[in-house]
Amino acid sequence: MTDAQKAMSDKTVLQIKGLCVALAGRGGKQLLRDVDIEVKAGEITCVVGESGSGKSLTAYSVMGLLDPESLRCTAGEILLEDENVLTVTPRRLRELRATRMSLIFQEPMTALNPVERIGAQIEEVLEIHCSDDARTRRRRVLEMLEAVHLPDPQRIFDSYPHQLSGGQRQRVVICMALILNPKLLIADEPTTALDVSTQKQILALIRELQQKFNTAVLFITHDFGVVVDVADKVVVMNQGEVVETGSRDEILRSPRNDYTRMLVSSVPSLVPQSREAVTGDVVLSIKGLSKIFVRRRILRPSTVVEAAVDCDLTLHRREILGIVGQSGSGKSTLARCVIGLETPSAGRIVLAGEELVNARGNAFRERFRRIQMVFQDPYRSLNPRVRVGESIIEGPTNFGVPRAFAMERAKSLMELVGLPVSALDRFPHQFSGGQRQRISIARALIMEPEVLVADEAVSALDVSVQARILKLLESIREKTDVGLLFITHDLRVAAEICDRVIVMNKGRIVEHGSAEAVLVHPRDAYTRALIDAAPGRHWDFRNFRPL
Amino acid sequence: MSSLQESGPIRREEAAPAGANAILRAALSSIPAWLAAVVMMCVVAMAVFAPLIATANPTAIAPAERLLGPTSAHFLGTDALGRDTFSRIVYGSRLSLTVGAGVTVFSVALGLVVGVFAGYFRAFDMVIMRVMDGLMAIPGILLAIALIALTGASLATVLVAITVPEVPRVVRLVRGVILSVRSEDFVEAAITLGSPIRRILWRHLIPSTVAPLTVQATFVFASAVLTESTLSFLGAGLPSEIPSWGNMMADGRMYFQLKPGLIFFPGFALAMTLLSVNIIGDVLRDRLDPKMEKRA
Amino acid sequence: MLLFYVLRRILAALPVMVLVAIIVFAALRLTPNDPATIMAGEDATEAQLEAIRVSMGLDQSILVQLGTWLQRLATGDLGVSLISGAPVLDLIGDRIGPTIALSTSSFLFTMMVAIPLGVLASRKPGHLVDRALMGLSTLGLSLPVFVIGYVLMYAFAISFRWLPVQGYEPLSSGFWAHAQRLIMPSLALSGAYIALVARMTRSSIIEVKGEDYIRTARAKGATETAILIRHALRNAAIPIVTVVGAGVASLITGVVVTESVFNLPGLGRLVVEAVLARDYPVIQALILLFSFIYILVNLIVDILYTVFDPRIRY
């Protein structure tokens, strides 16, 4: 590195000083308080925080994208190369966008205009900011598409967004953001909506281009694994305030702030603790289960999707069996077949020695006394119009348990899941996501099931909340002997809680064994790729040290 | 409970609490709503207390007093048969409100049943929706005038003829709501709790149709009142001696150049009624079901 | 591939058309009226009536009659009027001119006015312009066509005498003679339609403006006008086109009423005359014709979707 380059890379590109943002209107709630962040050229600064921490709000303030009708900056300044973006004219602000600062969004599926071709959308940036002729524009776009490693740039240029995968779209967004070589790139959770293997590639791409162009990057994320992999500097935010700033190693090894300590140590490690194999009775066994979706259409060929093919598994009492895989691997279909929301195309499901029937009617309903489910999205799995208590006793009353009796049981369950008894009289919207998930767990447990299916039950939760719900599930299996079928895409979560793990890919089970065997000594190539793609896999967060 | 505040990364931002600006806006929006409510109450009062309010017998013919301008005895004048315009307008509100209410009740009830059926039991969906498409394609007013003209006009035929074309829109709305709600996790959760269909429908699905149906009901009401007066205006409604706003306007057509009030007075009553109902509908939609404009 | 899509849409529309035909036939035939009596008059003898019934096929079962009727329909034979004895197709040909003139002018006027108004209202939702325009649109949806019609007539024809009160002149009598008689009917007919389309334009633009790709465009540095034209309008087009198609139903109803108010000798008047005279074949044919126009317009709308949205699978 020459001295000139070094001088350049030390240059501060973005400086946020004492930024305050509040809801519009008199006495509007303060959402950001006194935020200070500095980003230097050639450096990735990660802003980490849980939901409601204000990290995305900070990003949008920099871009000047806050909705003036509902939000306003009340104090502070945002200096982009010594120019305060909070006070520049709207015209100047538009000039700065894409040329000096750019933004990559969380949702690649919706960030592109669905009715315009990819090429035209990228060209639009050049049309706005440069005076190139059409031929030059096209050439520059194709070059940039090449630079983000999209295969066949020519074809991508002429495609519509819906013809590309999520990862490809995110590359297009990155291409759009970096085509004018801005000084500052803001990435708002750019990989949260992607599968781990795609995430790994996108992170590598951002790293590569950032070094190539010496860009300053403000990287917003909730995932400490990603922080380990990309950050130079880390800013931890909580409820609208910066609680700690430091280099990556300072934050990960020796956090000074209590909140930071709690947050970092909540992240489960990829390496499971060794556990004794659970050897109770087999409570659930599945043999040769397949689910094939056939969609017959008039005048068009039918489509056939093999969601699950020839799956076998067994689950013991008191055991937590993890089913892991990326989206579309068939793990949810398998779970839905077990619970009875889907009818398997072939195969047998045996519950405690008794084969489950799939015929509709009373015999079919009987299975719900014995198998219960916790859903992924706590905001959708409770009827917003029904009081929590009524939701919880719905199951038992369906099977003839008297209301008063069921309500008594609900009260005792509230204690088990860590909620006050008064919660029963309230409505779901009065609770946070984690609390709602506790309610859902109580609703399932009141049936005293032998098997509990948890379909991505902690995936929508913040990491600290996730840790508490995992503890709760662990204690429940101790107390109730329930066998837990735990569906997740997150290997860390699987490592944290599962006794045994099954890996699925494209509807098939590719590997199964004890959590340790599968996650530490994988035999299958796909499992290995999956583990390899997990961000921050070499860091032991709980003990603040590398593995 | 604040120690247990738990949430996740996908949690949506809570709506902004109302500032001074927002409250002012809400107040502005409720002035027309307020006026509309007052007008509707007047119309209802007119219908209920018609004998007390009317100054003359609405069907009494008085050839000597034909086509009078506003006088102290007939302060909106008289028509070609000497009938008192004001009294006929007062009594006309009875028919409009009866038809509006009747059609609304029947089409919402029928539409709810058929819509729930189509939305929940997918086997019937295809057939039901094709029939509804067919009914939607037939211009309602033409079918109605044909049915009434050929079977003879009576309150019953008018009600049936106006209800039939209104039903498909209610069915579509209800079916749409049921379809979107039934894919919600809480409905699947109810299935896994062993809830019977009856309970799933009544507890989890039908309550979500109440808000959009309430909004739709106001628009059905307005549409029914409009259709009834259109039928009468075209000469295909109830017999012309029966006081109805549409009949009055039909009778007034011949004398429009001479006495425009014969059309404008009942026309004003009709327009004010429709406007009030529509304003109430708009306000309800904004409050209860902001996304409905897309659905209908 | 587009051709297949179009063919499939047409094939999907056919059963609806047949269904409409059956509903119309059933609805009219199940009413307690005897076409033979209408044709022969009240004082015909039973023998005369019987002869007419046999000649019209009315002595056969209702299903056979339906079959015969559908068969003739498929070959374009709409039957003959019971009153005048003229073929229904000829009657339609004589009266279709004013209806086409009225509906095209109203349609064009609606598109020219409604979409700009909707765009204008969507610029600042909840602000004065928006509130005023939406208030006007509620008014437009609430005023019956005949009320607007008579108000216009009073203002422009009776008070100011700018325009003829009513009547129709074909285009062959000169453009101005033709056009000046269409101005008021078109305005009256467009009122509700404009309100409907303007509302949908406004609400779908507002909705689209909340989408992520609009934020992307802002992040590119595009101006609000460029965003509106390039990104918002094209994405908002589908719901707008849908409501334009659905609004044809209200246009058809409006045509019937408007022609009555302004004395235009079009199909709307023809159907009212036929109803009052209980002329079955004419009523049937016209209701069917209007229904098919509606289905056809919505078929065109379906095909237009593919123009606006590349995601629609052929």
Task: Report if residue C160 sits inside a domain.
Answer: yes
Helices (H), C162-279: 175-180, 183-209, 212-220, 224-226, 233-262, 267-277
**Do residue C58 and residue C194 come from a single domain?**
no
Q: Does B275 touch chain C (CB under 8 A)?
A: yes
Task: Report if residue C314 sits inside a domain.
Answer: no
Per DSSP, the residues of A199-263 read HHHHHHHHHHHHHHHT-EEEEEES-HHHHHHH-SEEEEEETTEEEEEEEHHHHHH---SHHHHHH
**Do residue C100 and residue C153 come from a single domain?**
yes
Task: Report if residue C83 sits inside a domain.
Answer: no
DSSP A432: -
Structure tokens at C247: 């609004």
Q: Is A23 helix (H, G, I), strand (E, B) or coil?
A: strand
**Residue A106, by phi and psi: left (phi above 0), alpha (psi -120 to 50) or beta?**
alpha
Give me the domain span that covers residue C15. 2-74
Task: For chain A, give the number of residues.
Answer: 547
Average of per-residue pLDDT across C50-61: 76
A 128-147 near C (Cβ less than 8 A)? 128-129
Q: How far is CA C35 from the centre of its chain?
A: 29
Q: pLDDT, tens digit, for every residue of C120-177?
A: 999 888 888 998 999 999 999 999 999 999 999 998 888 888 888 778 888 888 888 8
Quick one: pLDDT at residue B291? 54
Which is it for strands A71-80 and A83-84: parallel, antiparallel or unpaired?
antiparallel
With 0-12 CB in 10 A as exposed, 13-18 as middle and 19+ as buried, what is B69? exposed
Q: How far is CA A76 from the centre of its chain?
A: 32
A 439-468 near B (Cβ less than 8 A)? 440, 443, 447, 460-462, 465, 468
Task: Report if residue C86 sits inside a domain.
Answer: no
Task: Inspect the interface and report whether the beta carbons of C138 and B282 lie closer than 8 Å.
Answer: yes
Task: Report if residue C282 sits inside a domain.
Answer: yes
**Do residue C55 and residue C128 come from a single domain?**
no
C309 contacts in A (CB within 8 Å)?
Answer: 114-115
Residue with tokens 């408007």: C258
Q: Residue B44: which of B247, B292, B272 has the closest Cα?
A: B272
Q: What is the mean pLDDT of chain B?
A: 83
**Do residue C287 and residue C216 come from a single domain?**
yes
**Hey, of C29, C103, C150, which one would you mutate to test binding to chain B, going by the most B CBs within 10 A of its CB?**
C150
CA–CA dist C120, C206 (Å, integer): 11
Q: Please answer whether residues B32 and B48 qualify as being in contact, where contact means their C-beta atoms are separated by less than 8 angstroms.
A: no
Looking at this protein, which amino acid is placed at residue A245?
Answer: T
CA–CA dist B162, B100 (Å, integer): 10
CA–CA dist A112, A161 (Å, integer): 7
Task: Report if residue C81 sits inside a domain.
Answer: no
A50 to chain B, minimum CA–CA distance in Å? 6
Q: What is the largest CA-CA distance in chain A?
A: 81
Q: pLDDT, tens digit, for every residue of B137-169?
A: 888 888 888 888 778 788 988 999 899 989 999
**Do residue C69 and residue C113 come from a single domain?**
no
Task: Inspect the interface and report whether the beta carbons of A380 and B186 lie closer than 8 Å.
Answer: yes
Nearest to B16 among A70, A461, A465 (CB): A70
CATH number at residue C169: 1.10.3720.10
Q: Please answer whether residues B209 and B111 qualify as being in contact, where contact means their C-beta atoms are separated by less than 8 angstroms.
A: no
CA–CA dist A467, A465 (Å, integer): 5
Structural domains for chain A: 11-100+183-265 (3.40.50.300), 106-181 (no CATH), 282-384+450-542 (3.40.50.300)
Average of per-residue pLDDT across A4-28: 80
Q: Which of the listed residues C15, C45, C74 is the one where a domain comes to its end?
A: C74
Task: Report how far apart, in Å, the C-alpha atoms of C87 and of each of B107, C33, C56, C282 are.
Answer: 38, 21, 14, 9
Task: Report if residue C313 sits inside a domain.
Answer: no
Q: pLDDT, tens digit, for every residue of A283-313?
A: 999 999 999 998 876 666 778 888 999 999 9
pLDDT over 70 percentage in chain B:
87
**Do residue C115 and residue C251 come from a single domain?**
yes
Q: Which of the listed residues C74, C107, C125 is the one where a domain comes to its end?
A: C74
**Do residue C283 and residue C228 come from a single domain?**
yes
Q: Residue C215: which of B87, A55, A188 has the closest Cα?
A: A188
For residue B259, name the pLDDT band (cuts at 50, 70, 90). confident
pLDDT at A488 over 50: yes
- Residue C229, C-beta contacts closer than 8 angstroms, at least 6 positions apart: none
Report the b/e string of A405-434 with b at 16+ CB within 10 A: ebbebbeebbebbbbeeebbebebeebbbb
Structural domains for chain B: 45-50+83-295 (1.10.3720.10)
**Do residue C104 and residue C30 come from a single domain?**
no
Range of weakest confidence among A475-484, C182-191, C273-282: C273-282
Per DSSP, the residues of A164-210 read S-HHHHHHHHHHHHHTT--SEEEEESTTTTS-HHHHHHHHHHHHHHH
DSSP B7: -
CA–CA dist C60, C204 (Å, integer): 53
Residue with tokens 């740039």: A153
User: Cβ of A77: how many Cβ atoms within 10 Å?
Assistant: 14
**Do residue C64 and residue C111 come from a single domain?**
no
Quick one: pLDDT at residue A238? 95
CA–CA dist C150, B200 (Å, integer): 52
Task: Report if residue C278 sits inside a domain.
Answer: yes
Q: What is the mean pLDDT of chain C?
A: 87
**Do residue C69 and residue C100 come from a single domain?**
no
Quick one: pLDDT at residue A82? 87
Q: Please answer whether residues B173 and B256 qualify as being in contact, where contact means their C-beta atoms are separated by less than 8 angstroms.
A: no
Per DSSP, the residues of B79-127 read -TT--BHHHHHHHHHHHHHHHHHHHHHHHHHHHHHHHHHHHH-HHHHHH
Q: Does C11 touch chain A (CB under 8 A)?
A: yes
3-state DSSP helix/strand/coil % of chain C, to nearest 5 = 80, 0, 20
**Do residue C65 and residue C99 come from a single domain?**
no
Task: Report how far apart, in Å, the C-alpha atoms of B234 and of each of B266, C192, C259, C271 are.
Answer: 15, 19, 11, 11
Domain count, chain C: 2
Q: pLDDT, tens digit, for every residue of A203-242?
A: 999 999 999 999 999 999 999 999 999 999 999 999 999 9
**Do residue C122 and residue C267 come from a single domain?**
yes
